[in-house]
Amino acid sequence: MEYEIVIGMEIHVELQTKSKIFCSCPTEFGQDENTHVCPICLGMPGVLPVLNEKVVEYATMAGLALNCEIAHFSKMDRKNYFYPDLPKAYQTSQFDLPICTGGLVEIEVDGVKKDIGITRIHIEEDAGKLLHESADGSLVDVNRCGVPLIEIVTEPDMRSAEEARVFAEKVRNILEYTGVSDCKMQEGSMRFDVNLSIMEKGAKEYGTRTEMKNLNSFRSLVRAVAYESKRQIIELKKGHRIIQETRKWDDTKGVSSSLRSKEEAHDYRYFPEPDLVPIVLDEAYIEAMKKALPELPEAKKTRYIEEYQLPEYDAGVLTASGVTARFFEETVALYNEPKQISNWLMVEVPPLLKELELSMEEIPLKPTQLAELLELVKDGTISGSIGKKVLSDVFKTGQNPKVIVEKEGLAQMSDTGELEGIIEEIVKNQPKSIEDIKAGNEKAYGFLTGQVMKATKGQANPQVANEIIRKVVAKYL
């Protein structure tokens, strides 16, 4: 029997507001435990929450960027439960009337395009963090309580780990562009829950699903899908049925294990939040948000192809991250050779980042420096290969290319006198090349140029060198 994997995702995204969703505590990550709290985010009796307007703005922008309908009327609800990491004992969320519904994201895997449906996006507050650090018990840090979140729920439209990864990356890319979240997965700003079931290929009805919570890297997402789909298929082949349950993914061990089954599922007794007014958005507001949206990755890619005549591949790579796209655009504004800039950004920059273990966000190179460097290559001050060395020096020292070229004496040798001496010497020692040239083999010129470049450590201006080589060789013919 042939099996098919069915995946639907729930994605939690922390919004990049300065203050929390219902109070004025800061949302900053990485502060001392339990310092960013107040009676409201601690859920003291009698306090009154006030919805942060920026949260509505960001949720609307995220919804528009993911092609959703924005509700003119939505409301907040209480999701009641005993949460050890949420002292209110209920999470303020949205239940039956979320702010966004019915979106879609187009993905492409192996050249095949496909739409992944977005069921809904709702606004909610984050819970605190449990720290299981001591044998005496667990500790709780409530700084994260009340940090605003959106939860994006997809249709069960994905059919492989690869589709899930491409979808997740695309959503991150789009949200990063809109600026509603920093999307830092290592800081928990973006967490993926994967619902997965197995069915017979082509079946009409889905199988029973399990849910793996809080995957926080694309790598663990792919590994978790691979492991869990294999586990379910083995169970089915044994004739067992899949139990609907929440499973925990252990990224170190590379296995998932049961956390709780559906039989223990909670009845959250959702009810409308009585302390908050509904969210009413008119068409003008939604239009204004649409206008406030920056250019999104897909549109940017198309524009790069048209405006800069870049190949589709280049446009795809450059727009795959907002940071790279911004760097590219700032450099093009200073030095109008898009394809050249693209080549250097795609080929030369990544290995240097990798060597220094930096991300593109932390790149020590400035657009002004890349523009200056390419200018030096173009006007012949330095060769392309010296340019690569200079780039590496800029990464390591932060100095401007001109300063490095000056200090290290890297400018190309165009001084004919000096070059002539070197070339005379080389030609004299290569009688075989002279024989070849006499026999009509023009390739020997290339060989001699290579020797000159080697002797000058790449600093000879190739054009000048070529002219002199021909002049010197002529004396032997």
The entry of ligand ADP, Zn ion, none that residue 38 binds, CB within 5 to 8 Å by partner kind: Zn ion
What is the rounded CA–CA span in Å between residue 172 and residue 221? 14
Return the ∠ at Cα 324 (arms to 319 and 325), rounded to 5°: 50
98 or 322: CB nearest ligand ADP: 98
146 or 367: CB nearest Zn ion: 146
Of 193, 192, 165, 189, the C-alpha closest to 179 is 189
6 or 25: CB nearest ligand ADP: 6
CB of residue 276 to Zn ion, shortest distance in Å: 15
23 or 374: CB nearest Zn ion: 23
Diameter of the chain measured on Cα atoms: 101
CB of residue 174 to ligand ADP, shortest distance in Å: 18
Residues of the shown chain interacting with ligand ADP in the complex, contacts defined by CB under 6 A: 6-10, 153-156, 195-197, 206-207, 209
Of 385, 372, 390, 476, the C-alpha closest to 433 is 476
The entry of Zn ion, ligand ADP, none that residue 25 binds, CB within 5 to 8 Å by partner kind: Zn ion
The entry of Zn ion, ligand ADP, none that residue 225 binds, CB within 5 to 8 Å by partner kind: none
The entry of ligand ADP, Zn ion, none that residue 8 binds, CB within 5 to 8 Å by partner kind: ligand ADP
Tell me the H-state helices in 207-348.
218-237, 283-292, 297-307, 312-319, 322-334, 338-343
What is the rounded CA–CA span in Å between residue 122 and residue 117? 15
The entry of Zn ion, ligand ADP, none that residue 374 binds, CB within 5 to 8 Å by partner kind: none
CA torsion angle 17 54 181 166 (round to 10): 160
CB of residue 25 to Zn ion, shortest distance in Å: 3
101 or 154: CB nearest ligand ADP: 154
The entry of ligand ADP, Zn ion, none that residue 206 binds, CB within 5 to 8 Å by partner kind: ligand ADP
Rounded alpha-carbon distances, angstroms, from residue 311 to 316, 323, 355: 9, 20, 28
Number of residues that bind Zn ion (CB under 5 A): 5
The entry of ligand ADP, Zn ion, none that residue 153 binds, CB within 5 to 8 Å by partner kind: ligand ADP
- Which residue, judged by CB position, is nearest to ligand ADP in the bound state? 8
What is the rounded CA–CA span in Å between residue 199 and residue 7? 11
CB of residue 23 to Zn ion, shortest distance in Å: 3
Within 4-63, which residues bind Zn ion (CB under 5 A)?
A: 23, 25, 38, 40-41
CB of residue 105 to ligand ADP, shortest distance in Å: 13
The entry of ligand ADP, Zn ion, none that residue 451 binds, CB within 5 to 8 Å by partner kind: none
150 or 153: CB nearest ligand ADP: 153
In a 13 Å sphere around the CA of 56, the CA atoms on its Cβ side amount to: 20
Angle formed by the axes of helices 462-474 and 443-455, nearest 10°? 120
42 or 175: CB nearest Zn ion: 42
125 or 157: CB nearest ligand ADP: 157
The entry of ligand ADP, Zn ion, none that residue 94 binds, CB within 5 to 8 Å by partner kind: none
**β partners of residue 121:** 100, 152
Tokens 């099996």 found at: 3
CB of residue 265 to ligand ADP, shortest distance in Å: 8
266 or 326: CB nearest ligand ADP: 266
Q: Is-contact 442 466, C-beta < 8 A?
A: no
Of 261, 250, 259, the C-alpha closest to 224 is 250
What is the rounded CA–CA span in Å between residue 235 and residue 224? 16
Interface residues with Zn ion (CB under 5 A) are 23, 25, 38, 40-41
